[in-house]
Amino acid sequence: MFSLAQLKQASDLVHGVFPATPQYNWPQLSEACGCEVWVKHENHTPTTAFKVRGGLVLIDALMKSDNPPKGLISATIGNHGQSLAFAGNRAGLPVTIVVPEGNNEDQNRAIKSHGANLVIYGHDFEAARQHSLKLQHELGYRAVAPFERELVLGVATYALELFTQVNDLDTVYVPIGMGSGIAGLIKTRDLLGLKTKIVGVVATGAPTFALSFAAGKIINTDTAQTIADGVKTRSPMQAAFDIIKQGCDHIVQVSDNEIAQAMLQYYQATHNLAEGAGAISLAALIKEKMFGKKVAVILTGGNIDYQRFTQYINTVY
């Protein structure tokens, strides 16, 4: 998919916009989990999520191509849209983002603040995605799928930072939404010749990747219901699944209550705000109890509004 030299070049590009995000060993989390816990803080990017890396690398490649697009369009429930809006604004490229009805208003405002045209359509992500494909033909824009080579290459730069800063990791826990984050981790681990296990995490209400991994083939689901918006997937992309099937150790399912508990634990132990998908990897580590191991969790984002955050953590029992 890409070479180590290409990954390092992408890393230089990303670091020209913002510095490497930190990875901290938090004592309270280590004590609670019974192992050495390192948190990769992707909530410390300009869009408060890891996906901005992919947007920067993708749009840089498109603008340097022989036939640059006149605009971009994509569907999202937030972080992917912010990524394209942020990078598109920097490049002077028009971006239209389609989100479903009832989408996080903080995400909607952030997308618009980066200069994108926001369209609200449909009851869930899949409906929004189908509408974005219709608009693409009308506008003549390039459609951006949630899983593309340059997106994976871009987000893999966080994995390069983590693996070069923290040695001898036994396991890394990472959320699976559409798959770019975990694919970037797997590819970077392999390029560096490491033996670190990569564990994917999904919500019990959105188990398509867990079901697919167990079956060895894609199993779509009719619904995806969870407080972790970033993992509300019901139709995996084949390219993402192929990488996960080959390079992921196993996939953990966690409940909404376990996710909310992890959100609260992040806040209490580190004073960091984690969105549901950002906290899901910590929820899985707490569930699996990796006693005595050296483990990293990816806090993929912190884009959650105050009302939902307090609502979720107040339900913890």
Q: What is the mean pLDDT of the chain?
A: 96
Which tens digits make up the pLDDT trace of 68-108?
999 999 999 879 999 999 999 999 999 999 999 988 888 99
In the chain the domains, ranked by start, together with CATH numbers, are 4-50+149-313 (3.40.50.1100), 52-143 (3.40.50.1100)
Rounded mean pLDDT, 274-289: 97
Q: pTM for the complete prediction?
A: 0.96
pLDDT of residue 78: 76
Number of residues that this document lists for the chain = 317
Contact 74, 67 (CB under 8 A): no
Contact 282, 295 (CB under 8 A): no
pLDDT of residue 316: 84
pLDDT of residue 104: 85
Q: Which two tokens stand for residue 199?
A: 């564990």
Q: Can you tell me the distance from the alpha carbon of 110 to that of 303, in angstroms, rounded to the nearest whole number?
A: 10
pLDDT of residue 315: 86
Rounded mean pLDDT, 255-268: 97
* Confidence at 161, pLDDT banded by 50, 70, 90: very high
Q: Which two tokens stand for residue 272?
A: 């960091």
Closest CA to 241 of 269, 214, 221, 223: 214
User: How much of the chain exceeds pLDDT 70, in percent?
Assistant: 100
Matching residue, tokens 């890409």: 2
Rounded mean pLDDT, 5-19: 98
pLDDT of residue 268: 96
CA distances from 103 to 27, 123, 169, 259, 300 (A): 35, 9, 36, 19, 19
Q: Can you tell me the distance from the alpha carbon of 178 to that of 213, in angstroms, rounded to the nearest whole number?
A: 14
The pair phi, psi for residue 278, each rounded to 5°, is -70, -30
Question: In the predicted model, is pLDDT for residue 273 greater than 90?
Answer: yes
pLDDT of residue 131: 96
Question: In the predicted model, is pLDDT for residue 148 greater than 80?
Answer: yes
Query: Where is pLDDT greater, at 223 or 64?
Result: 64
* Confidence at 290, pLDDT banded by 50, 70, 90: very high
Rounded mean pLDDT, 9-18: 98
pLDDT of residue 86: 98
The pair phi, psi for residue 223, each rounded to 5°, is -135, 165
Rounded mean pLDDT, 141-165: 97
* Confidence at 162, pLDDT banded by 50, 70, 90: very high
Closest CA to 196 of 300, 259, 299, 290: 290
* 37-41, 66-70, 229-233: range with lowest mean pLDDT: 229-233
Which tens digits make up the pLDDT trace of 116-142?
999 999 988 878 989 999 999 999 999
The pair phi, psi for residue 199, each rounded to 5°, is -115, 120
pLDDT of residue 59: 98
User: How much of the chain exceeds pLDDT 90, in percent?
Assistant: 92
Q: Can you tell me the distance from the alpha carbon of 249 to that of 182, in angstroms, rounded to the nearest whole number?
A: 11
